Amino acid sequence: MVALKDADKEVVEIIEQERLRQESSLEMIPSENFTSRAVMEASGSVLTNKYSEGYAHRRYYGGNEHIDEVEDLAIARAKELFRVEHVNVQPYSGSPANLAVYLATCKPGDAFMGLNLLDGGHLTHGWKVSASALFYHSVPYHVRPDGYLDMEEVRRLALEHRPKLIWCGITAYTREVPFAEFAKIADEVGAYLVADIAHISGLVATGAHPSPVPHVHLVTTTSHKTLRGPRGGMIMVTKKGLEKDPDLAKKVDRAVFPGLQGGPHDHTTAALAVALKEALQPDFKVYIAQVVKNCQALGMAMAAKGITLVTGGSDNHMQLIDLTPFGKGKGLYVQEALDIAGITVNKNTVPGEPSSPFYPSGIRLGTPALTTRGMKEQEMEQIGGWIAEVIGLVKDFGMPDDKAERTEAITHFRKWLEGDARIREIREEVRALAGRFPLYPGLTYR
């Protein structure tokens, strides 16, 4: 068989260009990270060739004795890391894992609650275009004007709607999630409580964020964010969950397969097992502690330059910049300008969003990937200065409400962006900084 570099030079060149982009840029999207080479090797292994419908030791196909071993290993390591009773490691990612939770606990039309997308929640927690809202009755809760979760509203809505399930999970919320407070409300109305810790799983695993496990019935997570693993998902059932429903683990497993999926991605399961072993090592706890320190240092650096942060800062790995002091809908401008500067972030809604999810008024950014490269507080101060400077360069570009005027404004902005000399100077400064922190030394695909 022919190696990739000889079999498909076009694909190799695309992969190599992406490797160079990652090496020379600053990846600051908080849901992104860099896996170890060991995780990548497992993900690209011969396990991708196998088909393994079913669960370990009870498959629908033969020849799965080694697949069973690797799935058993991943489950055992996840149980040890998160201190849970049952783990399903087969979900293809976080969204399928969340959908399986609905299937295991709810009937179509049942009411459930989740944090509103524009307030920092996830699509699968009930946003109107998601399958979660199409098949179940979504009752969203929100944050207060100060950006913190409105727990009084959570309790009021729970008492009013008596939901079957309540999500406590985040994608753009920078403060500690009060799992114990959620548990009191869920127990009061008899709801299943599910913690979606996709963003903070690495923090939970190391104690940098309080664990939901003593308080909730189910936990879902991806494995590629702060856990620094492959692009997969997990569903965990806690002791409290089994006390509420002794069959809950079986219901979860049936929801994943055959309810939603066919054969698991065995190469991802192996890569997940590797990542979980890495997360069990003492140096992973040191890493996560530095992620949080870096995030706080980044926030202070930006705030010192006059940038407004939602809630004034962060308890975790991400910051949410509020651009509304400069006007509405400017997230697209800042994201694209920072992209040219070699700083990768994502536009994001802010609490009380005056525009829309497509043209939002905020920027979400975080420190997991930068910390993986070895950067610390000194580098965060420098990066925070660049971000503030780029925001200053583009803050006066308006985002009209009228569609035609908006298209014209964006076109004008992009033409300006092509010729701005300072942003390109920052790009070279960013390239120099990135060069001091090599990502995968010696790795090439050509």
Catalytic residue IDs: 51, 53, 196, 222, 225, 231
Please state, in angstroms and rounded to a whole number, the distance separating the CA atoms of residues 73 and 89. 10
Handedness of CA 336, 342, 348, 354 (dihedral sign): negative
Please state, in angstroms and rounded to a whole number, the distance separating the CA atoms of residues 8 and 2. 9
Helices (H), 313-402: 331-340, 368-372, 377-394
> 66 is written with which tokens?
């080694």
> 100 is written with which tokens?
């399986």
Supply φ then ψ for residue 236, to 5 degrees: -120, 140
Amino acid making up residue 391: I
Query: Would you call the peptide bond into 214 cis, given omega within 30 degrees of 0 as the criterion?
Result: no
Please state, in angstroms and rounded to a whole number, the distance separating the CA atoms of residues 83 and 80. 5
Please state, in angstroms and rounded to a whole number, the distance separating the CA atoms of residues 61 and 50. 9
Which of 238, 235, 257, 224 lies closest to 369, judged by CA? 224
> 429 is written with which tokens?
């400064």
Q: Is 421 left (phi over 0), alpha (psi -120 to 50) or beta?
A: alpha
Amino acid making up residue 182: F
Please state, in angstroms and rounded to a whole number, the distance separating the CA atoms of residues 117 and 132. 12
Which of 205, 179, 379, 171 lies closest to 277, judged by CA? 205
DSSP 143: B
In the block, residue with structure tokens 């419908």 = 53
